[in-house]
Amino acid sequence: MGNNRLWVTPNNDLEAKTIVEMLQREGEDFLVTGQAWGASWDELEQDIKQAIDRAKEEEKQVYGVELQGDSNGAINVDHHTYGEDDRSNPKSSIEQVAEILGVELTLDEQFVSANDKGYIPAMEKLGAELGLSAEDSQEIIANIRMRDREMQGVTLEQEAQAQEAVEKLGKIAEKREYIQLDLPHSKTSTVTDRLYGKYDNLLITSGDGETNFYGKADIIKMLLERFPNPDPENNPYCRWASGDYENLGYGFWGGNKNLNQDEVKAAVQTVLQKSIDSKDNREEI
């Protein structure tokens, strides 16, 4: 069946790399675009576009993995939301690829999938469901996170800048409801990995203009409503959010254009303050 399919995929994070390895292992016909995060159908290399046209002429089914924009009849394999383009799916992209291929995920691929869908909490849950010891589970999780940061192209300088930003927060003895910090770059995994388990809500404003929030679903919903895409026709991919945040109760949101970071900070703090006030009122009753 693989001869009747053509896959087009980036190789821009750990899940994408693992999908490429799976397609290679299963003998599938696939092409890899050199695009970074935010890969799209429009920005595919010319030779890949020509290969897609030939595949369609040969009546092959074309699948695109996490490519934003108009697929022109190809099937999108995705689980993210890009502005108004909602492709949310309870299954990760690698799970969907495996399902199409009719193969089972290996243990490592299961953790890659969990990491992509729900970060460390999802991996911890998977480890418990599989009956792994806490030690074995943490060893796998640490390896997955290290490989993920490497695939994101994180440099030693960026790691050091993240460490400095985290140290400015002081010692975090107990889990905080909210942490906000400023970072010179937008490789936010350098911070989220270091602060895992130490916050309920985390807002990172980056010097390159990008803003990212990790936390509760109600705040993500507010951010999506309060800071919509300012130019959906010409720049539809300058806002993003995890696809399954409402079911999980947590997730991520971000933006990188025409976004006032001070306004985002104020909006998040307002929602959190309302939650605190509501909690205090309940306790007084």
For residues 265 and 163, membership in a common domain is answered with: yes
CATH of the domain at 272: 3.10.310
The 8-class DSSP code of residue 133 comes to -
Residue numbers of the domain that contains 87: 2-95
Give the end of a domain, one of 95, 110, 126: 95
Q: Output the pLDDT for position 282.
A: 52
For residues 173 and 90, membership in a common domain is answered with: no
Give the end of a domain, one of 59, 76, 95: 95
- pLDDT profile of the chain (285 residues), mean per 10: 86 95 98 93 98 97 97 95 88 97 98 93 96 96 92 91 96 95 95 93 96 95 92 82 84 91 96 75 51
Q: Output the pLDDT for position 276.
A: 72
Q: Output the pLDDT for position 81.
A: 85
Please choose, from the candidates 106, 70, 109, the residue with its C-alpha nearest in 3D space to the C-alpha of residue 92.
Answer: 109
Give the end of a domain, one of 95, 122, 148: 95
The 8-class DSSP code of residue 60 comes to P
For residues 56 and 172, membership in a common domain is answered with: no
Total domain count for the chain?
A: 2
**Residue 228 included in any domain:** yes
For residues 192 and 81, membership in a common domain is answered with: no
Q: Output the pLDDT for position 173.
A: 92
Half-sphere exposure of 173 (CA within 13 A, CB side): 0
* Beta pairing partners, 186: none
Q: Output the pLDDT for position 118.
A: 86
Q: Output the pLDDT for position 211.
A: 97
